[in-house]
Amino acid sequence: MKDDLVVVVPGIMGTALTWEGADVWNLGPRAAAGLFRPGATLERLRLQQGIGDEDPEPRHALALGGPIRTQRVLPGLVAHLGYGGLAGRLGIAPERLAVFPYDWRLSNVNSAMKLQRFVGERLERWRTGADPERFPGARDAKVVFVCRSMGGLVVRHYVEVLGGHRMTRAVASLGTPYLGSVKALRFLLGEGLGPLPAAWREAIAEVCSTYPSLYQLLPVYRAVVTDDGYPARLGEVPPVAGLPTAMVVDAFRFHREMQKAARANRANEAGGTAGYDLVPLGGATHRTAHGVSFDTAGRPRFHDGLPGEGGPWLGDGTVPQLSATPPEHRTTATTMWFPHRHASLLDAVPVQYQLRHICNGVERPRYLASDHDIGIELPDVALAGQPIEVWATRADRAMDLRVRRLAEAGRCLAAEPMRPAGDGRFRAELRAEPGTWTLEVSSAATGYACRDAVLVTEG
C-alpha cells in the first residue's frame, strides 16, 4: 500500500463561491425562501467579457469556500450530491487528503495553473511533514487525483500540458467529458432549463455565458447532425446563433493542446505509456444527449444518438459514453462503467470500492460486474406542488422499484412505487416543497440504488 497524497478536484459548482460570507451560487435555500433576485445577484456572478485565461477583475472576484457538502443543482447543466466525508469514502487517512478549491467559472487553463501551485506546495508539505512511522512511504510520494466531471479537464491540462505527469501516480476521473458534452451546448443556448421562471432562465443563461469554463465543455467530437444526415464538428458548420465563434475556437484549441501534449508525453515514455495510471469511470445506462441539429430558423433539436456512427448512445445522463473515455484510449472498453447517473458516481458504493483500490495503490479488479442495466430519467428542476416524473427503463416487476425523496441527512421524506407504463418502462411521480432534494430509485429486492438531485422552486 502506497502513501501517496490524494488530491480531489471537484467539478462545476463543486466549490462554494462566496461574497461577504454568503454562498452566492447556492440557489436551493434561496429559492425555497423566495430570496433569489436575478437582478440583485447578477453582477456578483458574472465575469468580465473577454476574460480568456486570466483572473477576474476585482469587481467580479468571488472568495473560495470549501467543497459543497450537500445537494446542489445548476439548472439545465449539472447536479451534485455533495462531498461530505471524503476521506471515509476513499478509504484513506484524513492526513493524506487534499481538496483543491477553485473558481469553476474561470478557464480550465487558469484553474490548471493554480492546481500546479497547489500540488507543488501540498506534495512537498506531505513528503517532509508526514509522520514517518504511520506513513513510511510519504517521502517518495506522488499524487493520486480523484476528479469529478470538469475537474478531470483541469487535471488533464495540468498533467499533460504543465508537466504534472512527473508528480502523478494515478488519475481517476468520474464522468469527465474528455470530448465535451452536448448538454453544455444545450445549456449555453438557453435550452433545457426546465420550468424556471423567465427571470431565472434569462439571468442564469446570461451570467453563465461569461464563463470560459463552460465553453470548454462544448462537444469537440462530431456532434452536429447536418442536412445530409452526417455528423460534423461545431467548427465545421456555419456559426450557431447565440454561440460566439471565438469561444468555439477556444474550446477546440483547449482540447487540441491537451491531446497534442498527451501524445508527446507518451512518445517520451518507455513503451509509449502515460507514465501514470489513467482510470476513467463513468455511467453507462442512462439516456444522454449525444448530438444536435438545427432547423431552417436556427432552432436546435437535441438527439440521443448520431446517424451513421456506431455508438454507444447511453451515458450518465450528462456525459455520453464516447466522451467519458480519454481519446487516446480509442475504445470505451477501457473505461469502468457503472449503472449510475452523473451526480451519484462519487456517491455509489461500487465506485467507492474501486477508488479505494486506486488511492491505496492496490491492484483492482478490471471490471465490477453488475446485473443492473437500468436507465433512470428525471428532471433537475421542478415546480413546487407539481408532479415530478421519474422513469426507469430496462427494469422488471420483480425488482419492485421505488422512488424516495431524501433530506440532506439521508432521511426518507416520501416514497412512491414505480408502476409499469408499457414498452418495458416504469413510472412514478411525487411532489415536493421548494428546496434542493435527493431522489433515489432503489430496489430492496436486489440492492440496486441510483440517486440524483432536483431543485424544486415556486412557480
* pLDDT number for residue 41: 60
Q: Which CATH architecture has domain 1-371?
A: 3-Layer(aba) Sandwich (3.40)
More confident residue, 107 or 242: 107
Q: What percentage of the chain reaches a pLDDT higher than 70?
A: 93
115 vs 340: CA distance, rounded Å: 28
Beta-sheet strand order (sheet of 419-422): 375-377, 388-393, 425-430, 419-422
For residue 339, pLDDT beyond 70: yes
Residue 446 grid coordinates: 436486489
Q: What pLDDT, in 10s, does the model give residues 300-332? A: 999 998 887 777 689 999 999 999 999 999 888
- In SS3 terms, 40-99 reads as HHHHHHCCCCCCCCCCCCHHHCCEEEEECCCCEEECCCEEECCCCCHHHHHCCCHHHEEE
Task: Kindly indicate the confidence band of residue 368, based on its pLDDT and cuts at 50, 70 and 90.
Answer: very low
User: 434: cis peptide before it, omega within 30°?
Assistant: no
Q: What pLDDT, in 10s, does the model give residues 46-90? A: 999 999 999 999 999 999 999 998 888 888 889 989 998 999 999
pTM: 0.94
CATH 3.40.50.1820 boundaries in the chain:
1-371
Task: Kindly indicate the confidence band of residue 36, based on its pLDDT and cuts at 50, 70 and 90.
Answer: low
For residue 365, pLDDT beyond 60: yes
The distance in angstroms from the start CA to the end CA of the chain is: 53
* pLDDT number for residue 331: 86
For residue 370, pLDDT beyond 60: no
Q: What percentage of the chain reaches a pLDDT higher than 90?
A: 67
* pLDDT number for residue 122: 98
* pLDDT number for residue 33: 45
More confident residue, 316 or 45: 316
189 vs 194: CA distance, rounded Å: 13
User: Which residue type does 140 have?
Assistant: D
Q: Which CATH architecture has domain 375-457?
A: Sandwich (2.60)
Contact 346, 9 (CB under 8 A): no
Q: Output phi, psi for 66, to 5 deg.
A: -85, 180
* pLDDT number for residue 9: 98
CATH 2.60.40.10 boundaries in the chain:
375-457
* pLDDT number for residue 442: 94
* pLDDT number for residue 340: 94
Task: Kindly indicate the confidence band of residue 32, based on its pLDDT and cuts at 50, 70 and 90.
Answer: very low
Per DSSP, the residues of 272-339 read: G--SSEEEEEEE-SEE---EEEE-TT--EEEESS-TTS----EEBSSSBHHHHS-GGG-SGGGSEEES
For residue 272, pLDDT beyond 50: yes
Q: What pLDDT, in 10s, does the model give residues 375-389? A: 999 999 998 889 999
336 vs 4: CA distance, rounded Å: 22
Q: What pLDDT, in 10s, does the model give residues 137-168? A: 999 999 999 999 999 999 999 999 999 999 99
Strand, helix or coil at 169?
A: strand
